[in-house]
Structure 1
Amino acid sequence: MNLLPKSSKEFSSAEYWETFFKKRGASAFEWYGAYVDHCAVLHKYIKPKDKVLVVGCGNSALSEQMYDVGYQGITNIDISEVVIEQMKERNATRRPTMVFMKMDMMQMGFADSQFQVVLDKGTLDAIMTDESEGTLHNVNRMFAEIGRVLQVGGRFVCISLAQEHIAKKALSYFHQEGWPVRIHTIEEESSARRQFVMPVFVFVFTKFRKVPGAGQMILEMCTEEQGKPLRLQSVGQLLELVKGRQQYALLRNHLTKHSSSGENVSLTLCDRGSGKPRYTFYIVDQPSVKPSRANHFAIFIVPQGRETEWIFGTDEGRKQLGKSAGFKRLLVVALHRDQLYESMEAIQSELSGKVMELAPHGLPPNQQVPFLSVGGDIGVRTVQYRGTSDMSGEYVIEDVKGEDGNYFRHLIFLSNVNVVQSETKLLHSTSKSVSSQKKKKKDKGRRRPCSEAEKPSNPETAQAVDKSYLCCDHHRAMIAGLVLLSKNGGLLPDTPFSLLVVGLGGGSLPLFIHDYFSQSTVYAIEIDPVVLEMATKWFEFSQDDRMKVILADGLNYISTLADSGSGSYDVIMFDVDSKDTTLGMSCPPPAFVDNVFLQKVRNVLAPQGLFILNLVCRDCTLKEKVMVAIKEVFPLIYLQKIEGEVNEILYCQLTTELKAGSKDLLEAGQILENALKKPGRQWDQTYHLVEMLKKVTIV
């Protein structure tokens, strides 16, 4: 028996519904769940003595079940005479005061302000099949009639799948009318009994008299039925929350049936009070793992402040983490800044219900799912300062505790929260000695029970900056590449040379060169004055006769210098990022590797000079174009790939006469490293120039 319409427009046709109910008969047809699914929400807004109008009642048992529990002032209308007669016959004896009337809800015959509640379950969805002029006209008529027959203070309760065009229309219409809006989501446990994948929403619109010039109207979302509703500032924000619930339902349905292998699957859960992101989930599946009761599913909590590390902050890293953990599905959970987390135990309790909804198909019943972490505690993240740059947007300065217990200071622009713009190691003023153990970038995801928590140190004691420690491996590689600079027979710490670095950040790279190469003269180009202020105040950057910051656009500065022919540098470094996150290259901005501009870089570089570029490019096609452009300008290029990261360091020279083989590089690196380790000078014992140079190849 085919009951489906030939087109969606038939849903608003009286003829279609007449035929539908004739074929189906008197058996109840439930759109979007039964009374038991909705009663918890309906009881909040409908009192037993209220006069209730059910529009588009069909042959649903909803009003009958409401009648049976005490709601006996119910009037039902439908456009189909067939279904109205069926419902009258079905309820004549058991529910004698229940009213059923054939009536078009777009032109109702009731007096004004006759009802306290108008209830709709699926009718709006059936009418608004598209956004054509005729459909929108009918919806406006429906809403106008509902507003007319409702008393002031009455509620229009609309149960809907909330397709985007429907939700947008309903919210906009009643918000403009000045009616407070509240949305509930039917609990997932109840929804599981339906055949619909998408969640069901209950919209509650309360009739208020429209007051010209009234203030902000109420827009609310009930994220937890027992909690306080979340107040939103705009219809757009409310629609985004609805869309988020729908996307979560689709993802959960997909993950219960399929593997995420090959897909980058993630979702974010927001705090129900503030609406700000609280947890981000990353699904990591290992299809090659044969599931057993012990390795089916696990949750890995990333300590605060460590979500930007390669192993946790990149798809490649999380895949390695999943492989190391050995579970068929690993749910990696990142904790967000501006949120309070009491303990691992509190996080587990908060997440236990949600994470189980993302369990893989075939998880044994009553299976205890382990929570894993690194170090056992939730980590320490202390926001020291937050501000806004006109050029780069909002940013935070925060101190976090690393894997080895040391503290690190981060500069992070909130437009790209997964990237640490600058990082430096902090010295504990209360410590008797300074640990120089390197903070590992590639943690192997050691499994350790969360109960083994450590007592966090106080980040307030960690203020002094360890200027001898280079946190970033690409900075270490850029320093190591200086051995390629041929000046007076080789580069030593007391060899004079001039260096121009584009991109200041926290200043750790130019400061290291300034401090360890005593005859160097360093010029740093920085376009954003706020970055210089941050580097000075929070990263202990300072200027003197050998260290100067030029506040300028690096492109303009180099172009002007090249055109005027007024100066040159022995070394030029590019360590500047792109603010456009849509590009496949995050460092440098494309204009810095344009062929014309590279020619200007060449003109500013001394004849025996060295151009060092930090390249971060995930787009293989774009990277190939960049390499072609560089090779056209620089005949000799050395390359070093940073292990475990996307960064590649290019060392470019203007001559081919001084080709250095691997042995030459290692010997030069050892000489320079030994010279840098002067007695009485602090040196990071984990930094070995020779080890960095072993990975250098000629392009």
Structure 2
Amino acid sequence: MATLDAAATFESLVPSRFTTLNFPNPSHSTTTTRHHLYSPLLRVAVLDSPSRSTINNNSPKIAAMLVPIHRETDWTFSTEAGHLQLLLNLPEISRLILIGNLPIDPRPTIYNKPPPIDQINQSIIKESLRPLLFALCPKSVFNSGLPEIQFLGYEDDVIRSVTVVRERVSEEEVEVFRRMPNLVQTQMRIVPKRGSHVNGDLGSMSLGDFEFELDTVSLVQPYFAPMVAILSLVGSCLEETIRGGFRPKALCLGVGGGALLTFLNEQLGFEVVGVEADEVALSVARKYFGLQDGKYVRVCVGDGIEFIGKLAGQVRKLNSDYLGDFSVDNGCWLGNADRLDDKFDVIMVDLDSSDVGMGTMAPPLEFVEKSVLRDARLVLSEHGILVINMIPPNRSFYELLVHEFREFFSELYEIDVGNGENFVLVATATAIRSASSDTENSFLTKLKLLCATRYAVGGHITKF
């Protein structure tokens, strides 16, 4: 922890420098603001932009953000990597200062989003923090008098959260959770059940007045809609599969809450196999997120990369020797004796790096090794596609990955999701052939109805 005795630390901007300190709450005795900044000491975190062009700007811009109450232990607000993600979405800001209450440990079991701060209290809070913020500004911002420090708000979709599972974990896992606490990894939308509300004025009702159910049509994660919409590239082939009396097959590496698997199965008629390394996550997905195993949805506990390798080994062996049922040794049945050439029409990869030092990087480095890419290509059908959620640490690293993919796949496409973080990389087993018209293709028609609007917001396709 730093103190303001080392004020010289903040006089200059240094790319990627991160500093945290505890500071007496200047508004602690002001009862009108105790509902937000209530702890006697505040946690203050200061991060300078990693961009030298932003740092070397003659008129650097400084911004401050109040950490949402009871969200102090979230990964976004309590870690350097989370702070960086906020700053990367603010390309013109040279220094971002987060100010919040000291974290409460453990986090409350139930979180309810507090009401917004009214204008009077906002003014009181900003005025009380002005001396602190001026002390944290670099000298260069005072060249033209007192600087104007921009206060930023933070909004997301979280209205209420309830902790449903607390698990005992190993020492290694505890360290991961310390570095990436309360990171939201999967989301599903919930909607009131029809007719579940009580009689009365809707405007005066609370969440407790409704019963909710999962909305399996909505794709909440920002990269899910582009991942699904990209199936339009092989829409003609998928339509032929369906007209031939078969279901298209999808392999999903990384299950999370199961939203993507459920959507592919229920909305688009896919036969889906999912692989998830975290057995607890699967248990939560089945109990709370609506993931259901069945004839056309099968989920395995295991390492996705090892699974691809074993599956490729089975395919190689099938090329020379009939084995009967198409399976791997972790008990997940994958095919049947009637389709010896059974492969996947699409592989969707949503895997994060287990190396917490890499921050929110996806996929893990192990996935883009040549042997894994070779195996992935082998288990794709003739016109299959590999679809990957990418969070690259930098652009040069991403370009290197693209170079590796070219060795094994025919064509590459990219979708910039538009959130400043995710890209969807698509690799095709063979060259994409021209699609039939929408009027002839029921699969494409359905895909457009489900994804077109969200996909248009998400970004555009670029062919490498």
- TM-score bracket, normalised by the shorter chain, equals 0.5 to 0.7
Aligned with 1:687: secondary structure? helix
- Which of 245, 258, 275 lines up with 2:2 in the alignment? 245
Pairing of 1:473-488 with structure 2 (within 5 A): 473-485=222-234, 486-487=236-237
Question: For each residue in 1:344-380, what CA deviation from the matched residue of structure 2 results, as whole angstroms up to 9, or x when unmatched?
Answer: 44993885664453245439999997755357x9985
- What TM-score does the superposition give when structure 1 sets the normalisation length? 0.47
Deviation digits for residues 274-315 of structure 1 (CA, Å, limit 9, x no counterpart): 999955444578875869xxxx86633254569859xx9564
Amino acid paired to 1:481 = I
Kindly indicate whether the alpha-carbon contact (under 8 Å) linking 1:569 and 1:609 is maintained by their aligned counterparts in 2. Answer: yes
Q: Residue 367 of structure 2 corresponds to which residue in structure 1?
A: 592
Q: In structure 1, what residue type is equivalent to 2:136?
A: L
Query: Aligned residue for 1:348?
Result: 125
Provide the residue aligned with 1:357 in structure 2.
Answer: 135
The corresponding residue for 2:354 is 579
Larger Rg: 1
Mapped pair 1:525 → 2:305: no
1:185-224 to 2 correspondence within 5 Å?
none
Distance 1:531 1:390, change over 3 A: same
SS in 1 for 2:189: strand
Q: CA deviation at 1:263?
A: 3.7
- Rounded Cα–Cα distance in structure 2 between residues aligned with 1:631 and 1:666: 29
Residue 426 of structure 1: how far off its partner (Å): 2.5
In the TM superposition, residue 414 of structure 1 has moved relative to its aligned partner by 5.1
The number of equivalent residue pairs is 395
Match for 1:421: what amino acid? Q
Residue aligned with 1:602, SS: helix
1:515 maps to: 266
The answer to whether structure 1 residue 318 and structure 2 residue 87 are counterparts is: yes
Match of 1:542 in 2: 292
Show the 5 A alignment for 1:363-402.
371-373=151-153, 380=159, 382-388=161-167, 390=169, 393=173
Give the CA deviation at 1:476. 0.9
Structure 2 residue 460 is matched with structure 1 residue 695:
yes
Out of 596, 613, 638, the residue aligned to residue 413 of structure 2 is: 638
C-alpha displacement of 1:505: 0.6
Q: CA, structure 1 residues 299+614, in 2 after alignment: closer, same or farther (shift >3 Å)?
A: closer
Residues of 2 paired with 1:577 and 1:276: CA distance? 35
Cα distance in 1, alignment partners of residues 23 and 259 from structure 2: 35
Q: CA deviation at 1:598?
A: 1.6
Q: Counterparts of 2:194 and 2:100 in 1: how far apart (Å)?
A: 30
Residue 257 (structure 2) aligns with: 506
Which of 5, 20, 23 is 1:267 aligned to? 20
Q: In the aligned structure 2, how far is the partner of 1:649 from the partner of 1:368?
A: 38
Q: Residue 385 of structure 1: CA displacement?
A: 3.2
1:156-305 mapped onto 2 (5 Å cutoff):
244-245=1-2, 249-250=5-6, 252-255=7-10, 257-258=11-12, 260=13, 262-267=15-20, 269=22, 280-282=45-47, 299-303=64-68
In 1, distance between residues paired with 2:386 and 2:189?
27
Task: Answer with 645-654 or 354-363: which moved more.
Answer: 354-363
**Secondary structure of 1:586's match?**
coil
| Superimposed CA distance per residue, residues 89-137 of structure 1 (whole angstroms, 9 cap, x where no aligned partner) | xxxxxxxxxxxxxxxxxxxxxxxxxxxxxxxxxxxxxxxxxxxxxxxxx
In the other structure, the counterpart of 1:606 is: 381
Distance 1:365 1:417 in 2: 40
What secondary structure is seen at the aligned counterpart in 1 of 2:163? strand
* Mapping of residues 400-415 of structure 1, within 5 Å: 415=179
Cα distance in 2 for residues equivalent to 1:334 and 1:274: 9
Q: Are 1:382 and 1:459, in contact at CA under 8 Å, matched by a contact in 2?
A: no
Equivalent position to 2:311, from 543, 549, 561: 561
Aligned counterpart, 2:339: none
Partner residue, 1:146? none
- Asked whether the equivalents of residues 252 and 261 of structure 2 are also in contact (C-alpha less than 8 Å), the reply is yes
Q: Would the alpha carbon gap of residues 642 and 672 (structure 1) be closer, same or farther in structure 2, given more than 3 Å must change?
A: same
| Secondary structure at the counterpart of residue 630 of structure 1 | helix
- Work out whether 1:654 is the aligned partner of 2:407: no
Give the corresponding residue for 2:190. Answer: 426
Shift of residue 470, structure 1, vs aligned partner: 0.9
Cα drift, residue 483 of structure 1 = 1.8
Q: Distance in 1 between matches of 2:208 and 2:22?
A: 28
TM-score (norm 2): 0.67
- CA 1:521/1:581 → structure 2, altered by over 3 Å: closer, same or farther? same
What are the ranges of 5 or more consecutive residues in structure 1 without an aligned counterpart? 1-243, 396-411, 434-454
State the partner residue of 2:29: none
SS across alignment from 1:385: coil
Q: Distance in 2 between matches of 1:622 and 1:298?
A: 29
Q: Is the 8 A contact 1:570 1:605 kept in 2?
A: yes
Does 1:674 find its partner at 2:445? yes
State the 1:425 CA deviation: 2.0
Percent identity, please.
21
- Whether contact under 8 Å (2:268, 2:443) holds in the other structure is no
Question: In structure 1, the residue corresponding to 2:418 is in which secondary structure?
Answer: coil
Q: Contact 1:501–1:524 (CA<8 Å) still a contact in 2?
A: yes
Distance apart, 1:626 and its partner CA? 2.3
Please report how far the alpha carbon of residue 499 of structure 1 lies from its aligned counterpart in structure 2 after TM superposition: 1.0
User: Matches of 1:687 and 1:669 in 2, distance apart?
Assistant: 23
What letter is aligned with 1:637? L
Pairwise mapping of residues 126-137 of structure 1 onto structure 2 (< 5 A)? none
Structural RMSD (CA): 4.9
1:474 Cα deviation from its structure 2 partner: 1.5
The structural deviation recorded for 1:541 is: 1.8
Q: Distance in 2 between matches of 1:581 and 1:384?
A: 23
Quick one: structure 1 residues 659 and 673, their matched pair in 2 at CA, closer, same or farther if it must change by over 3 Å? Answer: closer
Task: Tell me, in whole angstroms, the C-alpha distance in 1 between the residues paired with 2:368 and 2:94.
Answer: 43
Cα 1:289–1:674, aligned 2, differ >3 Å: closer, same or farther? farther
How many angstroms does 1:503 deviate by? Answer: 0.5
Gaps of 5+ in 2: 26-37, 198-203, 316-325, 327-341
Q: Aligned-pair distance for 1:522? A: 0.5
